[in-house]
Amino acid sequence: MSDTNTAWTPHSWQSKTVMQQPVYADEAELARVVGELSSLPPLVTSWEVESLKNQLAACSKGQAFLLQGGDCAETFESCRPDAITSLLKIMLQMSLVLTHGTRRKVVRIGRVAGQYAKPRSADEEKQGDEVLPTYRGDLINRSPFTKEDRTPDPKLLLRGYERAALTLNFIRGLIDGGFADIHHPEYWDLDFVDQSPMSAEYKRLVDGIKDSLEFMENVLDTPEESMKRVEFFTSHEGLALRYEQAQTRTVPRRDGYYNLATHFPWIGMRTAQIDGAHIEYFRGIRNPIGLKVGPTMDPEWLTHLIDILHPDDEPGRLTLITRLGASKVRDLLPDFIDTVAATGRTVNWVVDPMHGNTESTATGIKTRQFDNILGEVQASFDVHSTRSSVLGGIHVEITGDDVTECLGGARGLSEADLERAYLSKVDPRLNYEQSMELAMLVAHELRKER
């Protein structure tokens, strides 16, 4: 078991076994970059981080609902205005559906502004006779299969920080400027959705909301200012620990250390070893954190992790993101819920219906069946409700773009369609229609709980 008695520092993880890290050739250059990153301003503030923690506490009690979504991996190239606005648009539309259906506040967290590093199943990749380091995301190295591109480059940590800052700056500007104003849902329209089978239902809903808003504002004789803005938080897998460490710091008038590179870092499935460096790092930060729970985790392991990561039962601190797979969730989730109940601590339960449902087509394309995604969400609602437990949110890989990466959905995408608009270099994402259909299912389930 992890020795949690020894003093924690932002770099105490370095004394533990660390998984999924690149090997940098030039340690001095790495140290210089980490030093520079440590001196640059934070991307987020401790006020925002604490506010999110409170909102996640509300999710864990069923008073709010978390929508966490975005790409599997951001790339430096995807730091473009159209890609950023289309993520915002789809998340605003999904959250409108969710709020309308549930009368609950929706907490929005993007997998954005820092989701640049990916865990990999192998350290090396072989093509022909050549063996090179595996591509670990734009924060670490570059994807073309050449020695130069694949060599981990410390400067990319700085480039990643800068891209994250550019992304966040644009998101903050849009939101402050009125992009998320509910009086103008037309700002969130995506070019192609008029032909979408989901669009008519969504339009009806938006018209209904506009009517109610107009009615309320006429009665109150004042525009509803609070409806003009939303909060939007960021998250990424806290994988590249040098990057996380460099942005981990104390702030005036609060105790402890905050990771100020993101509001909500999460621990991936491949780095959740009890004695490992990632758990050591995460135990010491004050942020709300996520922990992925997959089918290979067992109750004893989870209990240890909860003891290490969530010793004080602080409201909103720990979100468990289950990603068990549609076929396993009914078997495995009840035990996990009972395990957590036995610890006496409260967590925020969230379902990630993506990562347990990845498969390959006969021609080797990575995909996911929409029915399995819906199935895992549905089963998670069912299991939580039979256990009097609360499902507090969903964690999804989505895009506002018109891609064809997952099979099924309202338009019944088939394997032949995958070739048409498959853009993801990593995991397949739900497209606009599939995302909206999922939001409608979730709204329907939550309405039952009302």
Interface residue list for ligand PEP (CB under 6 A): 72, 119, 237, 268-269, 292, 294, 323, 355
| Chain centroid to CA 419 | 26
User: Which of 6, 5, 4, 21 is closest to 245 using CA atoms?
Assistant: 21
Binder of residue 49, out of Co ion, ligand PEP, none (CB less than 5 to 8 A by kind):
none
- Of the pair 240, 383, the CB lying nearest Co ion is at 240
For ligand PEP, the closer of residues 101 and 294 by Cβ is 294
Tokens representing residue 82 in the block: 């159209």
Max intra-chain CA distance, the chain? 74
Cβ-based nearer residue to ligand PEP, 101 or 290:
290
Closer CB to Co ion, 353 or 393, in the complex: 353
CB 447 within 8 A of CB 101: yes
Rank residues 2 and 20 by Cβ distance to Co ion and give the closer one: 20
Q: Which is closer to ligand PEP, CB of 22 or CB of 185?
A: 22
CA–CA separation, 213 and 210 (whole Å): 5
Do residues 276 and 18 touch, judged by C-beta distance below 8 A? yes
| Residue closest to 233 by CA, chosen among 105, 117, 66, 429 | 66
- Selection from Co ion, ligand PEP, none that 437 binds (CB < 5 to 8 A by kind) is none
373 binds Co ion, rule: CB under 5 A: no
Instruction: Give residue 189's Cα distance to chain centre.
Output: 23
CB 72, min distance to Co ion, A: 3
> In degrees, to the nearest 5, what angle opens at C-alpha 230 toward C-alphas 229 and 232?
140
- Which residue of this chain has its Cβ atom nearest to ligand PEP in the complex? 268
Closest contact distance (angstroms) between CB of 146 and ligand PEP is 25
Strand (E) or helix (H) holding 210: helix 199-220
Q: In whole angstroms, how close is the CB of 416 to Co ion at the nearest point?
A: 24
Q: Residue 142 or 355: which CB sits closer to ligand PEP?
A: 355
Stretch (H or E) spanning 126: strand 124-127
Query: Based on C-alpha coordinates, what's the Rg of the chain?
Result: 21
268 contacts which partner out of Co ion, ligand PEP, none, CB within 5 to 8 A by kind?
Answer: ligand PEP
Stretch of residues binding Co ion (CB under 5 A), selected from 65-73, 85-93, 98-106, 144-152: 65-73
CA angle 327, 329, 331 (to 5 degrees): 90
Q: Taking the complex as a whole, how short is the minimal distance between the CB of residue 218 and Co ion, in angstroms? A: 46
Given a contact cutoff of 8 angstroms between Cβ atoms, the answer to whether 239 and 119 are in contact is yes
Site for Co ion contains 379 (CB under 5 A): no
Contact 264, 232 (CB under 8 A): no
* Least distance CB 351 / ligand PEP (angstroms): 12
> Which of 269/407 has CB closer to ligand PEP?
269
Report the partner that residue 269 touches, choosing among Co ion, ligand PEP, none (CB closer than 5 to 8 A by kind).
ligand PEP
Do residues 185 and 206 make contact, with C-beta atoms less than 8 angstroms apart? yes
In the complex, what is the shortest distance from the CB of residue 70 to Co ion, in angstroms, rounded to a whole number?
10
When CB distances are held under 5 to 8 angstroms depending on the partner's kind, the choice from ligand PEP, Co ion, none that residue 119 binds is ligand PEP
Count Cα neighbours of 228 within 13 Å in the Cβ-side half-sphere: 8
Q: Which stretch binds Co ion (CB under 5 A): 30-38, 72-80, 219-227, 379-387?
A: 72-80
**Residue nearer to Co ion on the CB measure, 102 or 357:** 357
| CB-CB contact of 285 with 314 (8 Å) | no
Q: Which of residues 398-437 bind Co ion (CB under 5 A)?
A: 427
Selection from Co ion, ligand PEP, none that 323 binds (CB < 5 to 8 A by kind) is ligand PEP
**Measured from the CB of residue 80, what is the shortest distance to Co ion in angstroms?**
20
Half-sphere exposure of 372 (CA within 13 A, CB side): 20
Number of residues engaging Co ion in binding (CB under 5 A): 2
Going 61 to 64 to 70 to 76, the CA torsion angle's sign is: negative
If one asks whether residue 72 binds Co ion (CB under 5 A), the answer comes out as yes
* Residue closer to ligand PEP (CB basis): 179 or 282: 282
Distance CA 204, CA 345 (A): 42
Question: Which one of ligand PEP, Co ion, none is in contact with 263 (Cβ closer than 5 to 8 A by kind)?
Answer: none
Report how far residue 416's alpha carbon sits from residue 420's, in angstroms, rounded to the nearest whole number.
8
Interface contacts to Co ion, rule CB under 5 A: 72, 427
